[in-house]
Amino acid sequence: MKSYDVIVVGSGCGAIIAEEATAHGFKTALVDRGPVGGTCLNVGCIPSKMLIYPADRIVEIEEGRKLGIEAEVKDIDFGAIMTRMRRSRQKSRSNIRKGFKQAEGLDFYEGEGHFTGDYTLEVNGEKIKGKKVFIASGSRPLIPPIKGLDSVKYLTNESLLELKARLDSLLIIGGGYIAVEYGHFFAAMGTKVTILEMADRLVLPEEPEISELLKKALSRRMAVHTGAQAVEVKKKGDGVVVLVKDSKTGKEKSFSGQDVLVAVGRRSNADTLKVENSGVEVDKRGFIRVDHHLETTKKNIFAVGDANGQQMFTHVANREAVIVAHNAFHNASFEMDYSAAPHAIYSHPQIASVGLTEADAKKGHKILVGRAKYGDVAKGEAMMETEGVAKAVVEKETEKILGFHIIGPYAPVLIQEVVNAMASGGQGGQIDQGLHIHPALAELIPVTLGHLEEA
């Protein structure tokens, strides 16, 4: 059996740890069943945003009408859009794989690994042991136990990337960020989209008013049904039928489409790794339990990124990887701070959010809430942006920003100054100190913070 100082499982954020380990001269093994680069590169952030960018342009052209521009999208080359995404992904994959193969001090094991005992894994029939093990094994689509689902060839965020031709119609089971991002993409491509969400609103972790505005905006371009629980899926000719139960009335209704996309959430890959064989515990959803230093229930085994299910975004996974690597290789004990961890949803309209929602903040703080519309700032008015809003959640006594939520154009760009302020103390006043260009959408942030009221 080969022994290592460090074993890393997973080459998404795990690549950061492997690189740090080799840079510090540790004998390192990196295990990945492929494709290398993890979810973000292969089936997550990057391919989805490559597809969504042209979708945004299409919708903007169509929305030009409100500004007095009569323009028409004459043709959409669906094949070309998909091919660009797949080619770019392939190029990145090959470069990363080449890098792993050539890296000094790194043994790259291309295969599915699983624990066979304490600190010991088996990959491709070979056993390896590590003094320190870093689990960065990520997550995969959660497939709910819906009657008949196995009998149809449903799509996931992974298989949809292989589509060669545009779909005429698509049913989407789920209403989280993956569902609404792909709902936006397919609707822009000309697909008749129907979203079926079991909860009473879309994008549940967001502020309720953001969910409501999103539903209103998406409903102009697709059918959106909330409180609609998919209970059965059947084949119908070349297509599918989804039987849905209304959560209020209990009545059943069926929806037909050419295909169905299952986007109800993610599950940890910890099961495929058989982490229990090394004394690593998982929670009741299957995500690996970690402490504040991201150490698992087994000493010197750490879990980062989606595998621990804390906040499942690439920038969070990467920061966790940096922290565990620093702690492990420098004998430090930094903790991950999630309080200013932002996220974005690239639907149309876009959404961005950081920190606590109003409801969560009220559980532990006396708060003030500020609200502003894009139309309250000159640039928003110029853009005729009548729907977008921002909301600030601030601690009353300290004026510390606890949360900030935006729905509207460039929301993921706009939120960054709030994230920076929150990460360096969090006073609303910090934002006001810097002059804001007039007119620019960034004025929305100080204006929102200037409208604070008792909540």
Ligand X SMILES: Cc1cc2nc3c(=O)[nH]c(=O)nc-3n(C[C@H](O)[C@H](O)[C@H](O)COP(=O)(O)OP(=O)(O)OC[C@H]3O[C@@H](n4cnc5c(N)ncnc54)[C@H](O)[C@@H]3O)c2cc1C
Please report, as ranges, the residues that interact with ligand X according to CB under 6 A: 9-14, 31-34, 38-40, 43-45, 48-49, 112-114, 136-139, 157, 178, 269, 272-273, 305-307, 312-315, 317
Residue 302 or 383 having the CB closest to ligand X: 302
Name the residue with tokens 């590590």: 130
Q: Say whether 288 sits in a helix, a strand or coil.
A: strand
Maximum pairwise Cα distance, the chain:
71
Shortest distance (Å) from residue 271 CB to ligand X? 9
Residue pair 119/1 in contact (Cβ under 8 Å)? The answer is no
Residue 187 or 394 having the CB closest to ligand X: 187
Shortest distance (Å) from residue 427 CB to ligand X? 27
Residue 39 or 448 having the CB closest to ligand X: 39
Closest CA to 235 of 331, 171, 175, 319: 171
Residue 173 or 178 having the CB closest to ligand X: 178
Burial 123-143 (b: 16+ CB within 10 A, else e): beeeebbbebbbbbbbbbbbe
From the number of C-beta atoms within 10 Å of its C-beta (0-12, 13-18, 19+), residue 87 rates as exposed
Shortest distance (Å) from residue 144 CB to ligand X? 16
Shortest distance (Å) from residue 357 CB to ligand X? 19
Shortest distance (Å) from residue 254 CB to ligand X? 27
Residue pair 78/165 in contact (Cβ under 8 Å)? The answer is yes
Q: From the candidates 293, 405, 438, 451, which is the catalytic residue?
A: 438
Q: Say whether 317 sits in a helix, a strand or coil.
A: helix
Name the residue with tokens 């993610």: 266
Residue 214 or 431 having the CB closest to ligand X: 214
CA distances (Å), 212 to each of 146, 218, 387, 406, 419, in order?
A: 27, 10, 11, 13, 24
Q: Which two tokens stand for residue 338?
A: 């999630």
Shortest distance (Å) from residue 317 CB to ligand X? 4
Backbone angles phi, psi at 441, to 5 degrees: -60, -25
Residue 244 or 307 having the CB closest to ligand X: 307
- Residue 348 falls in the annotated catalytic set: no
Residue 213 or 344 having the CB closest to ligand X: 344
Shortest distance (Å) from residue 46 CB to ligand X? 8
Other Cβ atoms within 10 Å of 104 Cβ, number = 7
Q: Say whether 175 sits in a helix, a strand or coil.
A: coil
Instruction: Please spell the DSSP secondary structure of 216-273, one letter per residue.
Output: HHHTTTSEEESSEEEEEEEEETTEEEEEEEETTT--EEEEEESEEEE-S-EEETHHHH
User: Which residues are designated catalytic?
Assistant: 438
